[in-house]
Structure 1
Amino acid sequence: MSTGTGGIPLHIKMAIGFAAGLLLGLAVHAFAGDAGWVKTFTDYVTQPIGQVFLRLLFMLVIPLLFSALVMGVAEMGDIRALGRIGWKTLAYTIVVSSIAVVIGLAMVNVFQPGGGVDPALAQRLLADGAERAQGIVDSTRTTASGMGLLIGIVPDNVIRAAANNDILAVMFFALMFGIGLVMTKTRGAERMKGVIEGLFEISMTLINLVIRFAPIAVACLVFNLAALFGWELLLRLGAFVGVVVAALAIHFFVVYSAALYFAGGMSPLFFFRNSQAAIVMAFSTASSNATLPTALKVADEKLGLPRRVARFVLTIGATANQNGTALFEGVTVLFLAQFFGVDLSLGQQVVVMLVCILGGIGTAGVPAGSLPVIALICGMVGVPPEGIGLILGVDRFLDMCRTTLNVTGDLVAAVVVSRGESDTPDASAGGDATVPDQTVGVA
């Protein structure tokens, strides 16, 4: 993505904003300390700018998640015609995404990258937070638990659920709405599908517009944090990046290799060697949607998968099978909880896991598409949403890493779902004949 004058890539601008805010904040922390002008500057300049950016994200998160999730379900087509392919894809997505989130949560709980921060400093940051963030935190304190939480997933009033930031209820309604679109074969339903698709496209346009202001917002948010926490912020960010990358690597090499060998009947070495084009494209663009054409070509020409299966799985997977995004969202929420001293119970962490799995379905497959979801999940469990300013500066690199996991996971899903499936012989498809020599059978 290149935006702004001179065509400077957005991630370069964000890196510049992050570096500028960090250096200025560290300088203020070292030389100005508790000077009165620092508080005035943060209260009336940097803090409002950062909060406007966050409010814009909050404003768009509900329409974006709703439309993305509805379209992800509706694009499946005729549920009855899809049969076992659709159910196998759904089962794979749920199981592997669950494993990804569990790995991420376990890594954060074991290594505690956000722990050890002085509670007094964290409270000072909270005192400077926005009213919007505090309102979301307050609204989550009355959230039901146990069986009441499960029942509450089904909303009695979806408008009220959206107003109360009840993201699970909104996602449940979106899933039901998408299924209804698939099952209703009328002209009105087709027009409604077009409306939802238009809502998604408009939401994406606005999100991309908001993200253009991210470099300035990053500079302001990081300045506030660096001026408050000093060099300790660098140590916490380094630990956070290390935990995320380690968790992604475990899922990439261990879980995917096991799925390929035992469930897909394919050699992991063959798979990774022949999927390099899609992997490099995913890392470069940080966009599952932008990598989809390359992934389709890899599945057809390099892996020799049945075209009808690969096209379905990869197209749906670009939106609905985002293991890396689900893992990253879970790690980030728990990292921020540790940073701000918010003690999440096992039940709350289970809620985070469930929302991350569903959020992987509803998150747009574009750069920075998970940031609104993370902010909203933070509000659900009582973690200050403005804390995402901590990770915005390093998000581009982590976005590239998790997108690589997402796209690779889509290809692994195509291999697993394709096992036992056949395709109509095609004179132009010479790859199928070589599949037996390219795969490793599993007894």
Structure 2
Amino acid sequence: MSQSSHKYSLTARIFIGMVAGIIIGALLQFIFDDSGDLRFSIFSVEVSTYSILVEGIFSTLGQIFISSLKMLVVPLVLVSLICGTSSLSDPSKLGRLGIKSISFYILTTGIAVSLAIMAGLLVAPGEGLNLQAETTYAAKEAPSLSQVIVNMFPSNPINALAQGNMLQIIVFAVLLGVAMAMTGDAGKRVAAFFEDLNTVIMRLVTIIMNLAPYGVFVLMAKLFASIELGTIVSLVKYFMVVLVVLIIHGLVTYSALLKMFSGLSPVMLLTKMRDAALFAFSTSSSSATLPVTMETARNKLGVGKSVSSFTLPLGATINMDGTAIMQGVATVFIAQVYAVDLTLGDYVMVVLTATLASVGTAGVPGVGLIMLAMVLQQVNLPVEGIALIIGVDRLLDMTRTAVNITGDCTVACIIAKSEGELDQAVFDDPNAGSKQEDVDFEHFDRNA
């Protein structure tokens, strides 16, 4: 790798790729109309440049990048959890980690939806709007709580791994790790294999991270070339309320909780979250960002392996703070658009439903809209109202994901501090983990 490639940090390169993608995408949308034809007669070349770039190159490369990230998730979660669990000398520690993690995730989600409802009532983004849903939204049926609990336990672990069912993978990995810890020498030999495998997987994570600036560029170019900006203008108040509450929750709520429960510096945590947050913003997927989140927590924030291996995969699966914020504002917005007056009891029900649903529907595809449909049905609002906000949800989803993974790392730091599993020197070092950012591909084979 040339010397010039090391001029900028990974964070700077990702940011440059994101901005360049946004600019290119916006220019393409300005030049081409909705059908992909040139808007201006000055361009007379009859070539489907739009399709080649947007639907061809950008779409293909973007899907490859997302698939590369998702490729790492299942092996990373499985191996990391097995390594972390098998290294626990005190079995009761696993129970403490579980109780603390779930309690903090539920707490932050409850705060998030409460803030969203208050902001929605204060700003009233839906008052005076006469929007008509151009499409209908058919809500998928959400499973019952008992079915969710049953589905957490895999009848076929191989099938769970193949389907990427994260809750089942977590349960299987934890049970296997506990069994290894209780098996003596045989368990230690198997654990050594998984430790080596974990080292190899983390190196693969580092390699993929170096490709991030290019992946981010094509994802942003594809999004901003195809997104309907007119829809955002018509829903600007709703869009801005959700965005502002997301920012407040990500910067203020998490900072306050981190300082209150651990005494750690929120500024240091937020500064070190830049890479992971940019990844999350670009991919809109907590699961796809999980490899980067775990690398950040371990190498930059000093979170111990046993805590990060358990808390972060669990958070990527059940921590839905950003989605809860969308649900709170969307509920108020849809109620105002349809001129439905909700009572105080209805808003309390929204808070409870959204908070509990964030855990209960974790393994269901399309969880955000399913959870919103559940909330709307709970307070007798028309589920069809979801169609009003689908047009701007893609951009908001990017910010929601960045907030979610920030919450995951905040909770991981709090729990690691309480368990004595936080390396304070690493957390306080502003340059910690920076050496992990670049892989010298030119000499990679000789140094491996």
Same fold (TM over 0.5): yes
* Residue 351 of structure 2 corresponds to residue 352 of structure 1: no
Determine the structure 2 residue equivalent to 1:239. Answer: 241
- Residue by residue over 1:54-74, the C-alpha shift from the partner in whole angstroms, topping out at 9 and shown as x without a partner, is 644664566533333334433
Equivalent residue in structure 1 for 2:261, among 259, 262, 265: 259
Determine the structure 2 residue equivalent to 1:73. Answer: 81
| SS, match of residue 322 in structure 2 | helix
Aligned-residue offset at 1:13: 1.8
Q: Report 1:288-303 matches (<5 A).
A: 289-290=295-296, 292=298, 295-296=301-302
Determine the structure 1 residue equivalent to 2:175. Answer: 176
Q: Partners of 1:386 and 1:230 in 2: how far apart? A: 7
Aligned-residue offset at 1:413: 2.9
Question: Compared with structure 1, are the counterparts of its residues 45 and 276 closer, same or farther at alpha carbon in structure 2 (3 Å cutoff)?
Answer: closer
Determine the structure 1 residue equivalent to 2:431. Answer: none
Equivalent residue in structure 2 for 1:331, among 289, 305, 322: 322
Aligned-residue offset at 1:81: 2.1
Determine the structure 1 residue equivalent to 2:37. Answer: 37
Given residue 149 of structure 1, which amino acid in structure 2 is its aligned partner? V
Given residue 96 of structure 1, which amino acid in structure 2 is its aligned partner? F
Given residue 240 of structure 2, which amino acid in structure 1 is its aligned partner? G
Determine the structure 2 residue equivalent to 1:13. Answer: 17
Given residue 395 of structure 2, which amino acid in structure 1 is its aligned partner? L
Worse-matched range after superposition: 182-191 or 145-154: 182-191
Given residue 416 of structure 1, which amino acid in structure 2 is its aligned partner? S
Aligned-residue offset at 1:97: 2.0
Worse-matched range after superposition: 2-11 or 223-232: 2-11
* 8 Å Cα contact 1:240-1:335 kept in structure 2: yes
Q: Partners of 1:403 and 1:3 in 2: how far apart? A: 31
Q: Partners of 1:282 and 1:22 in 2: how far apart? A: 30
Given residue 15 of structure 1, which amino acid in structure 2 is its aligned partner? V
Worse-matched range after superposition: 168-177 or 7-16: 168-177
- Residue by residue over 1:107-131, the C-alpha shift from the partner in whole angstroms, topping out at 9 and shown as x without a partner, is 44554699869564667xx9xxxxx
| SS, match of residue 13 in structure 1 | helix
Over the aligned positions, Cα root-mean-square deviation in angstroms equals 5.3
**Please, what TM-score do these two structures have when normalized by structure 2?**
0.57
Worse-matched range after superposition: 248-257 or 2-11: 2-11
Aligned-residue offset at 1:14: 0.4
Given residue 282 of structure 1, which amino acid in structure 2 is its aligned partner? K
Given residue 359 of structure 2, which amino acid in structure 1 is its aligned partner? M
* 8 Å Cα contact 1:21-1:219 kept in structure 2: yes
| SS, match of residue 154 in structure 2 | coil
* 8 Å Cα contact 2:116-2:328 kept in structure 1: no
User: How many aligned residue pairs are there?
Assistant: 353
Aligned-residue offset at 1:28: 6.5
Determine the structure 1 residue equivalent to 2:223. Answer: 221
**Please, what TM-score do these two structures have when normalized by structure 1?**
0.58
| SS, match of residue 111 in structure 2 | helix
Question: Compared with structure 1, are the counterparts of its residues 379 and 54 closer, same or farther at alpha carbon in structure 2 (3 Å cutoff)?
Answer: farther
Question: Compared with structure 1, are the counterparts of its residues 202 and 188 closer, same or farther at alpha carbon in structure 2 (3 Å cutoff)?
Answer: same
| SS, match of residue 231 in structure 1 | helix
Q: Partners of 1:3 and 1:178 in 2: how far apart? A: 44
Question: Compared with structure 1, are the counterparts of its residues 63 and 13 closer, same or farther at alpha carbon in structure 2 (3 Å cutoff)?
Answer: closer
* Residue 110 of structure 2 corresponds to residue 102 of structure 1: yes
Equivalent residue in structure 2 for 1:82, among 90, 98, 101: 90
Q: Partners of 2:241 and 2:193 in 1: how far apart? A: 49
Aligned-residue offset at 1:214: 1.6
Determine the structure 2 residue equivalent to 1:279. Answer: 269
Worse-matched range after superposition: 68-77 or 203-212: 203-212
Aligned-residue offset at 1:221: 0.9
Aligned-residue offset at 1:145: 2.7
Aligned-residue offset at 1:6: 6.8
- Residue by residue over 1:7-62, the C-alpha shift from the partner in whole angstroms, topping out at 9 and shown as x without a partner, is 4621122023224434654x469xx5x66727987666424556435644664566
Question: Compared with structure 1, are the counterparts of its residues 204 and 22 closer, same or farther at alpha carbon in structure 2 (3 Å cutoff)?
Answer: same
Q: Partners of 1:386 and 1:160 in 2: how far apart? A: 35
Determine the structure 1 residue equivalent to 2:72. Answer: 64
Q: Partners of 2:398 and 2:180 in 1: how far apart? A: 39
* 8 Å Cα contact 2:82-2:173 kept in structure 1: no
Aligned-residue offset at 1:338: 8.1
* Residue 211 of structure 2 corresponds to residue 209 of structure 1: yes
* 8 Å Cα contact 1:292-1:314 kept in structure 2: yes
Question: Compared with structure 1, are the counterparts of its residues 354 and 337 closer, same or farther at alpha carbon in structure 2 (3 Å cutoff)?
Answer: same
Q: Partners of 2:65 and 2:150 in 1: how far apart? A: 28
- Residue by residue over 1:147-178, the C-alpha shift from the partner in whole angstroms, topping out at 9 and shown as x without a partner, is 22321222323444455564433443344344
Q: Which runs of 5+ in 2 are unaligned?
A: 40-47, 277-292, 336-349, 374-385, 422-448
Given residue 73 of structure 1, which amino acid in structure 2 is its aligned partner? L
Aligned-residue offset at 1:417: 3.4
Worse-matched range after superposition: 56-65 or 377-386: 377-386
